[in-house]
Chain A
Amino acid sequence: MADPTTQTPLELFGTEALIDAEDRAIRDSVRAMLATQVRPHLAEWFDSGQVPARELSLELGRLGLLGMHLEGYGCAGTSATAYGLACLELEAADSGIRSLVSVQGSLAMFAIHRWGSEEHKRQWLPRMATGEAIGCFGLTEPDFGSNPAGMRTYAARVGSRDGADWVLSGTKMWITNGSIADVAVVWAATDDGIRGFLVPTDTPGFSAPAIKGKLSLRASVTSELVLDEVRLPASAMLPLARGLSGPLSCLNEARFGIIFGALGAARDCLEVTLDYVAHRQIFDKPLSAYQLTQAKLADMTLELGKGMLLALHLGRLKDAGTLRPEQVSLGKLNNVRESLAIARECRTLLGANGITVDYPVLRHANNLESVLTYEGTSEVHQLVIGQALTGQPAFR
């Protein structure tokens, strides 16, 4: 039985006082919804590799999670910090659920909201906010991850007159929500540089086979997008995005959510572990009473708390409108790397129990292996920070 005077890792850091009442209310609603609608099913979803994403999207939309920090068009218009805290709760459940929300809100909806025409916004955003319509975001290709500028997906103009159709061909890879999406935001090279297109997924020539055999993000739909001469009207192009800055602005949004999200996975691991070590008896006393256990717990708590302070700081900067992309890299690099380390360390304290879906720690650790490399690998973020410090771009 744990001493009632014990504190949780984040209580120890006192971070609750840094969160304003409205953001806390939003966070509490997310937590309450997940407790009844998601958490009871996670082990099964992860184990089977099947998640009822469409039903889940409606539930997420009902609460207001989808595109929550966007203004208008049926979106709630919350603070960026509230969005981060929601991501933290979602990922405390499972990175796959947070990924669904990130891709819908920060990648697909943000792309339409930021770069789309008024008609695009009216057509798609309200239904995406409720979860009736699902979006995906196609930038990465089988051979182009960290170097998206090399993409082979090509959009050809049919004829030269204004208003001429486009024909898209190519393949996108590792696309969350791809197989269940109603609309795909696809980035393609054109004779005029990289442009974004809204591709309704029922357009002839579009297919999105699911990627099987994943050992990570199993409670998430991941797909390949195949574009086989997909013909689109001129109005399908996002008018305001020109060049790589379009998709990169979207990635920056999603990375911001990950800064908080990864900590959720770490917090969940640590909470489960604290409970486990309090009850697990070894040589007639609890595992929590051993110095080596406490050293691990203390070190993990430090990293979780430091990561939370960083996340909240970056959240405030984003709400003030001054957050720079290299600062997002600081947060994503640190918090994902440390959260993965925490998940693995927690696994050591759970012993063999830690490897099953009965406990969330290896599920979180496996998920974080994906989070470590998607939305900019750790190495890319190191290079972004390196360039900010030295002025020397060392990407290639």
Chain B
Amino acid sequence: MNIVVCVKYVPDTQAERTFNASDNTTDRVNVDGLLSELDEYAVEEALKIVEAGEGVVTVVTVGPAQASDALKKALQMGADKAVHVIDDAIHGSDALATSLVLAKAIEKVGMPDLVLTGMSSTDGIMGVVPTMLAERLGLPAVTFASDLTVGADSVTARRDGDAASQTIEAALPALVSVTDQINEPRYPSFKGIMAAKKKPVETWGLADLGLSADEVGLDAAWTKVTAFEARPPRQQGTIVKDEGDGGGKLASFLAERKFI
């Protein structure tokens, strides 16, 4: 089974994340970045599927030069090969354009049996690219899978909601986005880290995908960030001094905020 996993290089959630002052886009260059944690679940799921049978796992990313770090991590975990779509014109692309570039890249890789993605990025947190991508590729979209079983020509996924868990079946080829409940991503073994050095990474530009600069990027985006401001520092918490009435004060504090 051939699987393509779409991954994203995102600013480390532990780092001081910021935006570019010139165009309000996410700063991906001056902030430490890594493979989006939510995408690690998709990589892990792909590896488990292939390890239980056979096949090739290809990871695809769209991003600046630093995004090769995300691919490298996926290769270290065990993916077989990687594709990095990099083009200055892509800077500032919205979800629609990202899904367009990913779709073209996946078509160029060769239509796989299964496309896996994370449930969302940890920076944009929109979670819409998987469905857009499925639409562009003409694939059934199974989103937010917390369990996945792959058969010969179909997949069965469990989708946990607040009220019920749905079991969904889709014919292959299909696109499945996975949640952080689906597995426990491995950390790369030393052999995986050593082997990753020798794995193929293709680098494609827009022209390689038959796309032109005016189809992507900030100017083509349907949505734009018009302004941003840093979150104000957290206010110091209220300290209740117990003068024999501490319990009452705590209770009224909680009641005022409708916690009790």
Q: A22-B197, A25-B76 are in contact. Are A65 and B187 (CB under 8 A)?
A: no
Q: Which residues of chain A are near B190, meaning CB under 8 Å?
A: 26, 29, 63-65, 68, 76, 78, 82
Contact at A22–B193, with CB atoms within 8 Å?
A: yes
Bound: A7/B253 CA distance, A: 36
Contact at B187–A26, with CB atoms within 8 Å?
A: no
Q: A22-B197, A25-B76, A76-B194 are in contact. Are A62 and B188 (CB under 8 A)?
A: no
At the interface, is chain A mostly helix, strand, loop or mixed?
helix
Q: How far is the CB of B32 from the nearest CB of chain A, in Å?
A: 10
Q: Which residues of chain A are near B191, meaning CB under 8 Å?
A: 64, 76
A49 within 8 A of partner (CB): no
Q: Which residues of chain B are near A29, meaning CB under 8 Å?
A: 187-190, 193
A246 within 8 A of partner (CB): no
- What range describes how many residues of B lie at the interface? 10 to 19
Contact at A78–B189, with CB atoms within 8 Å?
A: no
Contact at A32–B187, with CB atoms within 8 Å?
A: yes
Bound: A392/B189 CA distance, A: 46
Q: Which residues of chain B are near A63, meaning CB under 8 Å?
A: 187, 189-190
Specify the chain B residue showing the minimal Cβ separation from A76.
B190
**Contact indicator per residue, chain A 13-50, by CB within 8 Å of chain B (1) or not (0):** 00000000110011011001100000000000000000
A243 within 8 A of partner (CB): no
**Contact indicator per residue, chain B 159-193, by CB within 8 Å of chain A (1) or not (0):** 00000000000000000000000000001111101
Contact at A62–B197, with CB atoms within 8 Å?
A: no
Q: Which residues of chain B are near A28, meaning CB under 8 Å?
A: 187
Residues of A in contact (CB 8 Å), total: 18
Q: Which residues of chain B are near A82, meaning CB under 8 Å?
A: 190
Contact at B193–A25, with CB atoms within 8 Å?
A: yes
At the interface, is chain B mostly helix, strand, loop or mixed?
helix
A200 within 8 A of partner (CB): no
Of residues 57 to 108 in A, which have CB atoms within 8 Å of B's CB atoms? Answer: 62-65, 68, 76-78, 82
Bound: A251/B76 CA distance, A: 32
Specify the chain B residue showing the minimal Cβ separation from A68.
B190
Q: How far is the CB of A322 from the nearest CB of chain B, in Å?
A: 23
Bound: A199/B192 CA distance, A: 33
Specify the chain A residue showing the minimal Cβ separation from B69.
A21
Q: How far is the CB of B164 from the nearest CB of chain A, in Å?
A: 32
Specify the chain B residue showing the minimal Cβ separation from A4.
B16
Contact of B188 among A4, A21, A25 (CB under 8 A): A25
Specify the chain B residue showing the minimal Cβ separation from A74.
B191
Q: Which residues of chain B are near A22, meaning CB under 8 Å?
A: 193-194, 197
Q: How far is the CB of B106 from the nearest CB of chain A, in Å?
A: 27
Q: Which residues of chain A are near B73, meaning CB under 8 Å?
A: 25
Of residues 144 to 183 in A, which have CB atoms within 8 Å of B's CB atoms? Answer: none
Residues of A at the B interface (CB closer than 8 Å) are 4, 21-22, 25-26, 28-29, 32-33, 62-65, 68, 76-78, 82
**Would you list 26 pairs from A and B whose C-beta atoms are within 8 A, ordered by A residue?**
A4-B16, A21-B72, A22-B193, A22-B194, A25-B73, A25-B76, A25-B188, A25-B193, A26-B193, A28-B187, A29-B187, A29-B188, A32-B187, A33-B187, A63-B187, A63-B189, A64-B189, A64-B190, A68-B190, A76-B189, A76-B190, A76-B191, A76-B193, A76-B194, A78-B194, A82-B190
Beyond contacts A64-B189, A65-B190: 17 other A-B pairs, Cβ-Cβ < 8 A, are A4-B16, A21-B72, A22-B193, A22-B197, A25-B76, A25-B188, A25-B193, A26-B193, A28-B187, A29-B190, A32-B187, A33-B187, A63-B190, A77-B194, A78-B190, A78-B193, A78-B194
